[in-house]
Amino acid sequence: MTYVDTSNISSQMFITVLLFLLVIAPLFSLAILRFFEGKRKTGFMLILSGIMTYLVFQIIMWIFF
């Protein structure tokens, strides 16, 4: 059994990842809900906004960490 060493993760990185996960995950789950409701345009917009938020997150992680 192996363990993941999390002692090298800074508090700033942890908070950044947590905040982005609180934004990205609900966008995708709302998109799935909208697809089941038959609102395809809203679902695609939510998926697109989730992808854009993920790209912003990747840029921030690349610049600061």
pLDDT digit string, tens, across residues 2-48: 788 888 888 888 888 899 899 999 999 999 999 999 999 999 999 99
> What is the rounded CA–CA span in Å between residue 24 and residue 47?
9
Residue 1 pLDDT > 80: no
Cα(25)–Cα(14) distance, integer angstroms: 16
| Residue that is written with structure tokens 């059994």 in the block | 1
| 3-state helix vs strand vs coil in the chain, percent to 5 | 80, 0, 20
Count other C-beta atoms under 10 Å from residue 28's C-beta: 17
The residue written with tokens 């990842």 in the block is: 17
**Domain boundaries along the sequence of the chain:** 24-64
